[in-house]
Amino acid sequence: MKNKYSEPNSEGFFGSYGGKFVPETLMEALDELEKCYEDIKSDSEFQKKIDRDLADFVGRPSPLYFAERLTEHFKGPNIWLKREDLNHTGAHKINNTIGQILLAKMMGKTRIIAETGAGQHGVATATVAARLGLECHIYMGAEDVQRQSLNVYRIKLLGAHVHPVESGTATLKDALNEAIRDWVTNVDNTYYIIGSVTGPHPYPMIVRDFNAIVGRELIHQSQASFQSLPDAIIACVGGGSNAIGIFHPFIDEDVRLIGVEAAGQGIDTGKHAAPLNDGEPGILHGAKSYLMQDSDGQIMATSSISAGLDYPGVGPEHSFLKDSGRAEYIAVDDESVMKAFHQLSELEGIIPALETAHAFAPLDLICSEFNEDQNIVINVSGRGDKDIASVAKLEGIDLE
Amino acid sequence: MNRIEKQLVENKNNNIKSLVAYLVAGDPNMDDTLSLMHGFVDAGVDVIEVGVPFSDPIAEGPIIQSAHDRSLANKTSFEGIIDLISNFRKKNTNTPIVLMGYLNSFLKNQKAFSRFDDIGIDGVLIVDAPGEYSLKDLGISNANVVSISLVSPTTTKERTKKICNASSGFIYYVTLKGVTGSSNVDLEEIKSNVIDLQKNTDLPVMAGFGIKNKEQAESISKVADGVVIGSYLVESIFEAKKTTDYKKIYNYLSEIKSVINK
């Protein structure tokens, strides 16, 4: 019998990736978090609480929907959509924040911080912080504050403070830097809710576990809908939290796992955000993983139409799954993403987030590899409301 | 014996408190960095920490962050820093030099790492490398280069022991919970933590992060074996740039050196 998949190891490594590469002041906080998480993981009261919140506040389980017209269009396998876009706050991000805020509360922390790119994680964090009455600070790259103004306003409506970050490239990576600096300074009373499967151990594991509800639901739903497991699962990958959430329960199963990165203006141009396709291992934000870096080890600026994927690193577990060959990672450029965005809107009546549209862009290619009896599932990680203004602008349409 | 070990043991035996000074290589430019390094030594600095600029310096406050950005905008490279140290060694073969930076820069320049001792680099302080790992664990070993680690106010007793065991040269005590250059130092807490730390190690203990003025330096040096000045110098170098007159900085360093040895 095969060994059951059990990454990461006790030191937080997925193979050779991951670990805890942070300033010394944070080491104790990470150890404390790890211990607390291990304690509550098996606590049935805590699990019940999370399950109740996921059902009544988030609206889980999210449906598995048969995309009939999309299936007809590609004339290949049956295409099913896992509807994370229907969650409260509009994306998968809330699965993680619901869990982490309860952890924060149990650890006696009174102040919540988070970074955000597209703003979805910022909204999901501000939402749960409001619900528990905790002070909340969101760090966001100044450039992202511009292109995701709707989410910035949502975060403010929820009573949280938004701190635009001007340093470096003024995008997601710089927001992360600033959040880490805040945490180093206020480590006694502050809980840092990381939004993706990135950062130092135990975050990649915790964020994965809280998002794995998506994959666990899919096991039952696919049995009920087509009496087998899916033949393939497709998800977009920035840091990679929605992808790992839906992949993880299937790692030991015979299911193709396909992650789609942002090729931005094209892999050849170097202006992209696809470290698994065109990067190399290095250390950023506390973990070893594939990175976009130059020959001197400096982190490179990235380019993507979607703020949520505009990040030079990726979760360490994806690096491990890439090297082991268990998951496949491809990349699609901005132009094909825009096509997929319109296609899903027009064929299925679902306007996806630009991040999510990446998972639909390679369907032509992927569908040609499956026959009509097979079933593939795409994770619809988020809805597109937040992107309407920027898409209109890109297409030269004046909404005023 | 490595220059750091030699210098600090000598100071300890002679009851001299050490002054460690930090600057960022290439800010405002490499020529000035070189002349500042010589000026530091003339002013009484015992160990020079040369900052290796990194695009994402998560442990730095705004002052040192901006210096990293300025230096990278000047196209400072690792190879350029190696040249800087080689040039410094043409005139100075005694003063210990530590490179302070982030792990990704050192991993990317592993080849140069094996030549560090030949070039005249005596130690490294890698801010985001866990202190209980040796350089060998990190895959960048060089038997003649010391590995300096940070111990912070949040470090547990158990970790302190592990870190002290994996370190050489000296232990850098982080005087506050925060990024470099913050202003909330609590002198009494620092002193009692330094005394605790010294029970775990025979290595000299240098204290830094947020130390600016003579009073702070004098007070901390009553217990620590020396002090590290960083952000204050980086800011002064930036301000002096307009005049390129670094005399005030050298005077300041001489004063610090004398008050810690009062």
Measured in degrees and rounded to the nearest 5, phi and psi for residue A283 equal -120, 125
A184, A188, A295 member nearest B59 (Cβ): A184
Structure confidence by residue, pLDDT tens digits, A17-40: 999 999 999 999 999 999 999 999
Torsion angle defined by CA atoms of residues A209, A213, A216 and A220, in that order, rounded to the nearest 10 degrees: 170
Residues from chain A that touch B174, judged by Cβ atoms under 8 A, are 24-25
Strand partners, A289: A282
pLDDT, average across residues B223-249: 92
Q: Tell me, what's the pLDDT at A101?
A: 97
Task: Tell which B residues from 120 to 139 touch A, by Cβ distance under 8 Å.
Answer: 127-131
Question: Number of Cβ pairs closer than 8 Å across A and B?
Answer: 109
pLDDT at A168 over 90: no
Could you tell me if B67 lies within 8 Å of chain A, comparing CB atoms?
Answer: no
Q: Tell me, what's the pLDDT at A329?
A: 98
d(CA A224, CA B60): 53
Structure confidence by residue, pLDDT tens digits, A84-142: 999 999 999 999 999 999 999 999 999 999 999 889 999 999 999 999 999 999 999 99
d(CA A250, CA A256): 9
H helices within A118-194, ranges in order? 120-132, 142-147, 149-157, 172-185
Yes or no, beta carbons of B57 and A177 under 8 Å apart: yes
Residues from chain B that touch A20, judged by Cβ atoms under 8 A, are 130
Dihedral sign for Cα atoms in the order A130, A132, A134, A137: negative
Closest residue by Cα to residue A354 from A303, A396, A306: A306
Yes or no, beta carbons of B55 and A28 under 8 Å apart: no
Q: Tell me, what's the pLDDT at A169?
A: 85
pLDDT, average across residues A229-258: 98
Yes or no, beta carbons of B78 and A296 under 8 Å apart: yes
pLDDT band (50, 70, 90) for residue A398: confident
How much is the pTM? Answer: 0.96
Yes or no, beta carbons of A296 and B108 under 8 Å apart: yes
Closest residue by Cα to residue A74 from A374, A379, A368, A338: A368
Closest residue in A to B63 (Cα–Cα): A167
Structure confidence by residue, pLDDT tens digits, B68-123: 999 999 999 999 999 999 999 999 999 999 999 999 999 999 999 999 999 999 99
Could you tell me if B156 lies within 8 Å of chain A, comparing CB atoms?
Answer: yes
pLDDT, average across residues B201-213: 92
pLDDT band (50, 70, 90) for residue A2: low
Q: Tell me, what's the pLDDT at A312?
A: 96
A48 membership: H or E segment, kind and range: helix A44-53
pLDDT at B232 over 60: yes
Closest residue in A to B149 (Cα–Cα): A24
Yes or no, beta carbons of B58 and A180 under 8 Å apart: yes
A210 CA: distance to closest CA in chain B (Å) = 26
> Mind telling me the catalytic residues of A?
93, 115, 381
Strand partners, A141: A165
Yes or no, beta carbons of A21 and B129 under 8 Å apart: yes
Q: Tell me, what's the pLDDT at B245?
A: 86
CA A300 to chain centre: 21
Closest residue in B to A182 (Cα–Cα): B178
Closest residue by Cα to residue B168 from B21, B41, B5: B5
Interface test with A, best of B58, B179, B183 (most A CBs within 10 A): B58
Answer yes or no: are the C-beta atoms of B257 and B43 closer than 8 Å: yes
Could you tell me if B112 lies within 8 Å of chain A, comparing CB atoms?
Answer: no
Structure confidence by residue, pLDDT tens digits, B135-178: 999 989 899 999 999 999 999 999 999 999 999 999 999 998 88
Yes or no, beta carbons of B178 and A185 under 8 Å apart: yes
Structure confidence by residue, pLDDT tens digits, A217-238: 999 999 999 999 999 999 999 9
pLDDT above 70 covers a percentage of chain A that reads: 100
Tokens matching residue A367: 């569908």
Alpha-carbon Rg of chain B, whole angstroms? 17
Average pLDDT along chain B: 94
Average pLDDT along chain A: 96
B55, B102, B178 member nearest A168 (Cβ): B55
Q: Tell me, what's the pLDDT at B1?
A: 73
Query: What DSSP assignment string belongs to A314-345?
Result: --HHHHHHHHHTSEEEEEEEHHHHHHHHHHHH
pLDDT at B180 over 90: no
A257 membership: H or E segment, kind and range: strand A256-264
pLDDT, average across residues A312-333: 98
Residues from chain A that touch B159, judged by Cβ atoms under 8 A, are 27-28
d(CA A309, CA A335): 15
B40 membership: H or E segment, kind and range: helix B30-42
B249 membership: H or E segment, kind and range: helix B247-260
Yes or no, beta carbons of A173 and B131 under 8 Å apart: no
Closest residue in A to B175 (Cα–Cα): A25
Tokens matching residue A96: 């993680």
pLDDT at A1 over 60: no
Task: Tell which B residues from 208 to 227 touch A, by Cβ distance under 8 Å.
Answer: none
Yes or no, beta carbons of A296 and B152 under 8 Å apart: no
B24 CA: distance to closest CA in chain A (Å) = 16
pLDDT above 70 covers a percentage of chain B that reads: 100
pLDDT, average across residues B198-217: 93
Yes or no, beta carbons of B177 and A187 under 8 Å apart: yes
Closest residue by Cα to residue A28 from B151, B125, B180, B165: B151
Name the DSSP letter for residue B44: T
B158 membership: H or E segment, kind and range: helix B157-166
d(CA A398, CA A392): 7
Interface test with B, best of A115, A163, A184 (most B CBs within 10 A): A184
Answer yes or no: are the C-beta atoms of A261 and A329 closer than 8 Å: yes
A20, A21, A28 member nearest B156 (Cβ): A28
Environment class of residue B250 by beta-carbon count within 10 Å: exposed (0-12), middle (13-18) or buried (19+)? middle
Structure confidence by residue, pLDDT tens digits, A175-214: 999 999 999 999 999 999 999 999 999 999 999 999 999 9
Answer yes or no: are the C-beta atoms of B122 and B97 closer than 8 Å: yes
Q: Which residues of A touch B (CB under 8 A)?
A: 19-29, 31, 167-168, 173-174, 177, 180-181, 184-188, 282-286, 291, 293, 295-299
Q: Tell me, what's the pLDDT at A3?
A: 78
Q: Tell me, what's the pLDDT at B34?
A: 98
Sheet architecture: strand order including A135-141? A161-165, A135-141, A111-116, A190-192
Answer yes or no: are the C-beta atoms of A212 and A358 closer than 8 Å: no
Q: Tell me, what's the pLDDT at B181?
A: 79
pLDDT at B242 over 80: no
Yes or no, beta carbons of A27 and B61 under 8 Å apart: no
